[in-house]
A and B are shown apart, each in its own frame.
Chain A
Amino acid sequence: MQIGYYPGCSQEGTAKEYDKSLREVLKVLDVDPTEINDWSCCGATSAHVTSHKLSLALSARNLALAEKQGLKEIFAPCAACYNRLLTSKNELQEHPEQKYEIETIIEEKINNIPEIYNIVNFFQKIGKDKIAEKKKIDLKNFKAACYYGCLLVRPSGINSDDSEQPNSMEEIVKATGAQTIDWNFKLECCGAAHSIARQDIVVDLSKKILDDAIKHGANVIVVACPMCHSNLDMRQQNIKSKFSDFKEIPVLYLSEILGLALGFDKKQLGIDTHFIEFNLPVRNDVQEVSA
């Protein structure tokens, strides 16, 4: 299967393991991702909170490049990139005068904007049967809390998922043999881009999410967004220093949990670069995965 790939900035930096694990997994699932040539930042939070046109234009440049490259479908593994690209696509299609203005700004024409998938929708498209077929290890003892965060399924109607009770990620994770837990915070905000400027807020919000997952019996959290991962994994260090009774829990990218089921080890998937050590037994017959 061919698909256009918009990695997004994090995949080259703070979320390198997300990119690494994703590429390994896609290879096994016979998917050949084509990177958008010379893609640039989607504008992220900082663009849309300061200038509407800047935000539209930065995303539109990437959509125009994808179209020029002949890509009919693209996927963005970062939930925030996905949301920005899709929001721009919808606005450009709904407001022709705005589209004209943005075309002038980016000096590119936009005619047929590609279909845009988030990573969960894209794995749905590949199919859980395909994942089950290629599965080498049954992740039976995983009790996964699937965390959607804000931008995978909102605003309501952005894709086929229910914006209050989505279930698509659970469906994919179950294909690895893992159990998924029912919990309350799968859509609660982690504080997102406030991580640096208002770390206090992010620590509070992330702690609530992690506590709820643990309370409902999870032994791992699965995410589909570099920002969510950074707040839920890295910020556990800060949570621990603020709340001495806090119990830590590992956080995996969706591509990493799939990778484990497909037989890759922690290092091949970059799981060893997380802040919270991942030491769940991957096979039922062993207590500890060798490093």
Chain B
Amino acid sequence: MSHHNTTHVRTISDDITDITSQNPELCYQCGKCSAGCPMRNYMDDAPNVIVRYIQLGLFEKAMNSATIWLCAGCLTCSSRCPKNFDLAKFMDAVREVALRNGVKVKEKTILKFHKAFLKQIKNHGRSYEVGLVRDYKMATFDLFSDVENSPKMLLDGKLNIFPHNVKGKDKIKSIFEKTEVKKCK
């Protein structure tokens, strides 16, 4: 067996660091982020625990958590961290890496919503609510919930029947093709 101790084997932690430009080791686990997190009650692991998983190399645990999907990106943690660690950005990176690695996503409806939203942007350049709701409902097979508010919005002209297509639509599509994370379950 040859020795490879001088060669650093890339890990998921390196991928996260590449995305966030910050070192996960910065976090000293004070837990202030979790104390102020508005989504903590709905999560499985506390937000600081996700950082701990990455620090310890327990990547699967981090990527399999519901927490990374429930994080609403409110930035309360990033604002309050005594080490100036941008935890919201870190959560973004863990999600992205989980998608790249084809991890089974715990909060499926949340991911389906994001995908349906991005599909409209990719196709039209701007958001298109009718298409978003259609695609989301098709993906979740949940056709009849949460429709009670739609008639009023239609009447008030807040749901556009047709999408607005930006002139640079092709450019938007090419931006997606160059940057989209494809592999995911």
Contacts and interface: CB of A to CB of B under 8 A. Distances in A.
A16 B72 contact: no
Interface string A179-198: 00000000111011110111
B180 interface: yes
Interface stretch (A5-13, A26-34, A168-176): A5-13
Given A189-B74, A189-B76, A191-B72, A50 B181 contact: yes
A58 interface: yes
A289 interface: no
B152 A13 contact: no
Contacts of B17: none
A155 B86 contact: yes
Contacts of A188: 38
Interface in B78-93: 78-80, 86, 88, 91-93
Nearest to A194: B72
Interface stretch (B3-11, B26-34, B52-60, B109-117): B109-117
A61 interface: yes
Grouping DSSP codes into helix (H, G, I), strand (E, B) and loop, the B interface class, with mixed when no group exceeds half, is: helix
B172 interface: yes
Interface in A46-60: 46-54, 57-58
A9 B180 contact: no
Q: Interface size bucket, A side?
A: 35 or more
Contacts of A52: 19, 92-93, 96
A151 interface: yes
A121 B16 CA distance: 33
A58 B112 contact: no
Given A12-B160, A52-B92, A61-B168, A46 B126 contact: no
B130 to A, nearest CB: 9
Interface in A134-178: 150-151, 154-156, 163-164
A192 B164 CA distance: 24
B121 interface: yes
B100 to A, nearest CB: 9
Given A9-B127, A188-B38, A189-B39, A151 B160 contact: no
Contacts of A189: 38-39, 72, 74, 76
Interface in B112-133: 112-115, 117-118, 121, 125-127, 129, 133
Given A41-B127, A155-B78, A189-B76, 19 more contacts: A13-B129, A40-B121, A41-B121, A46-B114, A49-B96, A49-B114, A50-B114, A51-B179, A51-B180, A54-B175, A54-B176, A150-B74, A150-B75, A155-B86, A194-B72, A194-B110, A196-B133, A198-B42, A198-B109
